Structure 1
Amino acid sequence: MGHSLCICSRGTVTIDNKRYYFIQKLGEGGFSYVDLVEGAHDGHFYALKRILCHDREGRKEAQHEMEMHQLISHPNVLSLNAFTFVNKGNKCEAWLLLPFVKKGSLWSELEKLRDKDSFMSESRILHIFEGICAGLQAIHEKNYAHRDLKPTNVLLDEDDKPVLMDLGSMNPARIEVKDSREAMTIQDWAAQRCTISYRAPELFRMESPCIIDEKTDIWSLGCVLYAMMMLQGPFDLIFQKGDSVALAVQNNISLPKSCRYSQGLQDLLTSIMVANPQERPDIAWVHNRVQNLLSNEPFQDSTRV
């Protein structure tokens, strides 16, 4: 965690006695902003994420996100270079200094392909998906779950290596739900923190008593795979039309008969996207299956797109 942060001049910040120059804004969310900064000491670019903490609970959530970054050390999970809180009057901001991944998100890559009326080759899908599985497996091995896996939370470096980001929704993999009150509390949390079109069926209508586990991530993983194959998530259009995603996720996923991808990849998708979490495979099985499919290259559509 950073020991100090000050605004030394316009466009310059200091974290842990190292200066960083503001370059440009990269994006913003509901309670956070991300800026591109350059380290004066090394000339490297970084992403500086500023989280607005409106109260003690907000500060606690930012602290949790920092701790999740420190918990997982894996090349397919975004690392944390520095972290600190800065007080601005009666307000507080959490600052996370993160590696800058120039290529952007997996979602932005899918949008580019869609705009060009193109597609992602099977070999490229498997290469990226294998890295996503590796990162997710590292999280699950720490007995945590990501809870908000989606294409916008996957960054791609220049070599198409995927990096999982936005760890603020991570929490213990197994959550025991003892009664209907606890079930409603978790459903409300999921509605706020787990993107609706990538949210697992069990997070919409929760039985009690029950146990929610890391299989929620496996469902989201399947939605990400579908998005790479079809250039949009399986429930994106349903959400955009205002129809019920909660109802749609109860049905088995289907691909068009004209699907360009191998039966092996289609079978992998349908084995992951199973409404009943007890029938879904774990991440080790999925990762192993992807590696087996990769070993069978080349594919008919192996031209890199």
Structure 2
Amino acid sequence: RGTLWNEIERLKDKGNFLTEDQILQLLLGICRGLEAIHARGYAHRDLKPTNILLGDEGQPILMDLGSMNQACIHVEGSRQALALQDWAAQRCTISYRAPELFSVQSHCVIDERTDVWSLGCVLYAMMFGEGPYDMVFQKGDSVALAVQNQLSIPQSPRHSSALRQLLTSMMTVDPQQRPPVSLLLSQLEALQPPASGQHTTQI
């Protein structure tokens, strides 16, 4: 089936997008994968549509765990902060990288909510056919500066206010205000369409 990005591109070439039901199903599967990683004390750190494989039934499978590391990192001092910043520059894709990894503070805690930011970027790509900072990067502008401001989400009749609200919460610049995956999962399960009598389009 290829990756989630292949699917987004395939639809975009025809002038189409994933439906909200498809997005919710995919998001639920990705969240469950992240929850399993986080429950073991790790963070993925490089979540993006090209790292999400689609199985035969269209179910998402997280791949490329090469950037995965300890979820909770206590940064104590400028040397450690710079080392982590350099590591992130090499291992975390720039247009999906959380704001706190661009300019790591000397005394802070970096946790698994970097994945929630990246997940928000993935959700944006599923909704609009490209990542929120893809064009910033392609134009040569500063992604590091762009991510410091609250994301402006385009209006679209394709998406419910609940889905937009979910995206806004994931894209919260302050990681302490960003919801953990466990909370996202409970919100997503509440948004799932009823199984009976629903006509869903297969991807």
TM-score normalised by length of structure 1? 0.64
- Partner residue in 2 for 1:198: 96
Deviation at 1:211, TM superposition (A): 0.8
Unmatched 5+ residue regions in structure 1?
A: 1-102
Q: Which residue of 1 aligns with 2:21?
A: 123
In structure 2, C-alpha distance between the alignment counterparts of 1:294 and 1:166, rounded to whole Å? 28
Residue identity matched to 1:250: Q
Match of 1:247 in 2: 145
Shift in Å, 1:258: 3.0
Shift of 1:304: 4.3
Question: Contact between 1:146 and 1:169, CA under 8 Å: does it hold in 2?
Answer: yes
Per the alignment, residue 21 of structure 1 pairs with: none
Structure 1's 266 and 297: CA in aligned 2 closer, same or farther, altered over 3 A? farther
Query: 1:89-115, CA deviations, whole angstroms, 9 ceiling, x for partnerless residues?
Result: xxxxxxxxxxxxxx1110011110111
* Alignment partner of 1:210 out of 108, 115, 131: 108
How many Å apart are 1:257 and its aligned residue? Answer: 2.2
More helix by share: 2
**How far apart in 1 are the matches of 2:7 and 2:33?**
19
Alignment of 1:151 with 2:49, yes or no, is: yes
Q: Give the whole-Å Cα distance in 1 for the aligned partners of 2:138 and 2:158.
A: 25
Q: Give, in whole Å, the separation in 1 of the partners of 2:35 and 2:147.
A: 24
Whose strand proportion is higher, 1 or 2?
Answer: 1
SS of the aligned residue for 2:132 comes to coil
* Aligned position for 1:114: 12
Show structure 2 runs of 5+ residues with no match. none
Q: Is 1:266 aligned with 2:164?
A: yes
Percent of residue pairs identical: 58
Letter in 2 for 1:260: R
Tell me whether 253-262 or 211-220 shows the greater mean CA deviation.
253-262
Q: Which residue, 228, 252, 267 being the options, matches 2:126?
A: 228
Q: How many residues align?
A: 202
Which of the pair has more CA radius of gyration? 1
Q: 1:56-95 alignment to 2 at 5 Å?
A: none
SS of 1:130's partner is helix
Please tell me the residue identity of whatever aligns with 2:169.
Answer: S
From the superposition, tell whether residues 222 and 235 of structure 1 become closer, same or farther in structure 2 (CA, over 3 Å).
Answer: same
Structure 2 SS opposite 1:210: strand
The TM-score normalised by the length of structure 2 is: 0.95
Q: Secondary structure at 1:177's aligned position in 2?
A: strand
Residue aligning to 1:287: 185
- Higher RCO, 1 or 2 (CA under 8 Å, sep at least 6)? 2
